[in-house]
């Protein structure tokens, strides 16, 4: 059975076998492959397949959020994680609780990212600005960035 001959449910299972997906992600991906030309019928097919997968525990929003936190949490800050989670169409309450988990370790994660990339304090203002821009691009909060680059957060607990 080729990939083109898969049913909506089979295609959704293939996507879920690769990594955790949110319901909205799967709806978006599956909509491109539904062979039925009538939009309402296609939405019903997708919805029915996803409802069945959710009922069997194969589609879980909490696991999708935890997967993002696990795979990207070590490299990115809370702002970047929030953008990623919202882009996946997860519920605001789930996004908030996942970000709360990430906030508890943000200082340590930012220090580790900084240490891997730079490892030594900035020599001048230009280097300091470059290091701060790097961490800001990774989605870390401003106060965390200042503490990491200045070195003041090293002995403090997060």
pLDDT in tens, 106-122: 999 999 999 999 989 99
30 is a domain residue? yes
Which pLDDT score, from 0 to 100, does residue 42 have? 79
14 is a domain residue? yes
Which pLDDT score, from 0 to 100, does residue 7 have? 84
156 is a domain residue? no
Domain CATH for 121: 1.10.10
Residues 145 and 115 placed together within one structural domain of the fold:
yes
Sign of CA dihedral 92, 95, 99, 101: positive
Which pLDDT score, from 0 to 100, does residue 52 have? 94
The pTM (predicted TM-score) of the whole model is 0.82
Which pLDDT score, from 0 to 100, does residue 157 have? 44
Q: How many helices (H) and strands (E) does the chain have?
A: 9, 0
Residue 137 near residue 117, CB atoms below 8 Å:
no
- Using CA atoms of 60, 63, 68, 74 in order, give the dihedral in degrees to the nearest 10: 180
How many CA within 13 A on the CB side of residue 4? 0
Average pLDDT of each block of 10 consecutive residues along the chain (158 residues)?
Answer: 70 94 93 72 88 94 95 95 96 96 94 94 94 96 94 55
Give the residue numbers spanning the domain of 13.
Answer: 3-55
Backbone angles phi, psi at 74, to 5 degrees: -75, -20
Which pLDDT score, from 0 to 100, does residue 155 have? 47
Number of structural domains the chain divides into = 3
Residues 48 and 86 placed together within one structural domain of the fold:
no
């Amino acid at each position: 059975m080729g990939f083109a001959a898969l049913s909506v449910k089979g295609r959704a299972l293939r996507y879920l076998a690769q990594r955790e997906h949110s319901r909205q992600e799967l709806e978006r991906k599956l909509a491109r492959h539904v062979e039925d030309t009538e939009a309402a019928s296609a939405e019903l097919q997708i919805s029915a397949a996803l409802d069945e997968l959710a009922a069997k525990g194969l589609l879980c929003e909490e696991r999708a959020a935890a997967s993002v936190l696990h795979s990207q949490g070590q490299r990115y800050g809370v702002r970047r994680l929030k953008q990623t989670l919202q882009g996946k169409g997860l519920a605001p309450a789930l996004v908030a609780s996942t970000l709360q988990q990430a906030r508890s370790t943000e200082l340590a994660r930012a220090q580790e990212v900084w240490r891997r990339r730079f490892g030594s304090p900035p020599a001048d203002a230009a280097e300091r600005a470059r290091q701060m821009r790097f961490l800001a691009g990774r989605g870390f909060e401003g106060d965390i960035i200042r503490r990491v680059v200045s070195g003041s957060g090293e002995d403090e607990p997060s």
